[in-house]
Amino acid sequence: MLKIDLTGAAEFFDGAGLDCAAAAEAHRVLASRTGAGGAFTGWLDLPARMENGELNRILAAAQNIQRQGEVLLVVGIGGSYLGARAAIELLRTPSHNELPGATAVYFLGNTLSPDAVNELIAVLGDRDFCVNVISKSGGTLEPALGFRVAKALLQQKYGRNGAKKRIYVTTDANKGILHDIAVSEGYERFTVPDDVGGRFSVLSAVGLLPMAVAGIDVEAVLSAAARELMDLDLRSPENPAWQYAAARQHLYRRGKSIELLACYEPSFRYMAEWWKQLFGESEGKNGIGIYPASLEYNADLHSMGQYIQDGPRTLMETVVRFERPAGSCKVPFVMGDPDGLNYLAGRELFEIQQIAADAVKTAHISGGVPNIVLSVPQRDEAGFAALVCFFEMSCAISAYMSGVNPFDQPGVEEYKKNMFRQLQAL
């Protein structure tokens, strides 16, 4: 369902052209699950597994949480919150928590800022709330401390037993600190699968429970994702995941070391954050990897536009476009035409957005920035599923093409070791 348009990048490809054969080979390694990190390829059939597994319990828990209060506090960091936050902002709105109707979802456990924690407590006010703590092991410091804070708030408000009914845990099925706490306290539990790394986990309970609480149709997400993964697997040379992976690697090897992921919808912001983790953490190792950066258009055309047009020619640009808006917004007519824009009066803003996007594309290409366009029909469950599956698949393929293990993150341990050493010396 996702379409890729490489015409704006093609003039930057040299004679060798795209190495789609290498992408296909990387895909075969991925599908065989025998490549580096092959034990973490469970996301390849996660949608079908969820439909036959935890889905109904997730839906029931989401209904419970909605009945229990106005707010869900999600405690998690990295892959344990970015996917859900991305989905909620894209499919609802970044202002989700300010609109009446659906349960508000706030995120905790991803900061050590006392001010940020205190501000969140002020925003929570005296509203009824539940907590969903998400951590594979329970040993990560930020969410562990966030959970301590959230639990203390719950116990203060509802007592020890009342709090227990409001804590939902997403963690390892069989082991780990958080698993053990959940079992001994009797919290309702959901699973972080063993064969799915954090940044590939949005279609497990990790992402689905907060999404369902926010009012997203997660059944529609899963069924669209299952179809999408099948499509991506069967299409041959035109497989868009191969094309994207091959184009990125081709351009990277020719000096395009920064990829700008841009979108004209402000609601895409956390999708871009999710994408940065996915690609940055999968590819950035052994001294190589494209730097993943993101931009929000049109806003950032008026901040980073100058650099993109005239700075070092080390950029490639990938633009996500939605083919249809959710609603209508027409340019108002103004008597006397003081700003000279009445020639646009009555036009759909979306039509003008499309023209702006085409103009930007032309300008950036002429400035020496290869342009890739990814398009999906709409900002809806199917569009979200298509983007997630496409990016996960193309990321794994691209990482294999560059010779690294897409599924490990050895570099993340370095600061943790230093930190725990210092903390334990307190």
What is the rounded distance in angstroms from the CA atom of residue 330 to the CA atom of residue 352?
10
Q: Give 239's contacts (C-beta < 8 A, 6+ positions apart).
A: 23, 24, 27, 232
Minimal distance, residue 278 CB to a second copy, in Å: 9
Find the part of the chain contacting a second copy (CB under 8 A) among 7-15, 41-49, 344-352, 395-403. Answer: 344-352
What is the rounded distance in angstroms from the CA atom of residue 52 to the CA atom of residue 124?
35
Minimal distance, residue 273 CB to a second copy, in Å: 7
Which residue of the set 175, 323, 330, 416 is catalytic?
416
What is the rounded distance in angstroms from the CA atom of residue 365 to the CA atom of residue 9?
8
Which residue of the set 302, 413, 414, 417 is catalytic?
302
For the question of residue 179 being annotated catalytic, the response is: no
Per DSSP, helices labelled H in 33-91 are 46-51, 55-68, 82-87
Find the part of the chain contacting a second copy (CB under 8 A) among 23-31, 64-72, 302-310, 389-397. Answer: 302-310
Regarding 286 and contact with a second copy (CB under 8 A), the answer is yes
- Where in 356-375 is the site for a second copy (CB under 8 A)? 356, 358-360, 362-364, 366-367
Q: Which of 38, 53, 311, 377 binds a second copy (CB under 8 A)?
A: 311
- Where in 239-258 is the site for a second copy (CB under 8 A)? 257-258
For the question of residue 416 being annotated catalytic, the response is: yes
- The torsion of the CA quartet 306, 307, 308, 311, rounded to 10 degrees, works out to 120
Q: Which of 44, 62, 272, 301 binds a second copy (CB under 8 A)?
A: 301
Closer to a second copy at the Cβ: 49 or 96? 96
Regarding 418 and contact with a second copy (CB under 8 A), the answer is yes
Secondary structure (3-state) at 168: strand
- Where in 88-127 is the site for a second copy (CB under 8 A)? 93-95, 97-99, 110-120, 122-123
What is the rounded distance in angstroms from the CA atom of residue 19 to the CA atom of residue 246?
6
- C-alpha distances in angstroms, 404 versus 51, 184, 260, 282, 312? 32, 40, 22, 8, 27
Q: Give the residue carrying structure tokens 């249809």.
A: 324
Regarding 66 and contact with a second copy (CB under 8 A), the answer is no
Which residue of the set 228, 273, 281, 296 is catalytic?
281
Residues acting as catalytic residues: 281, 302, 416
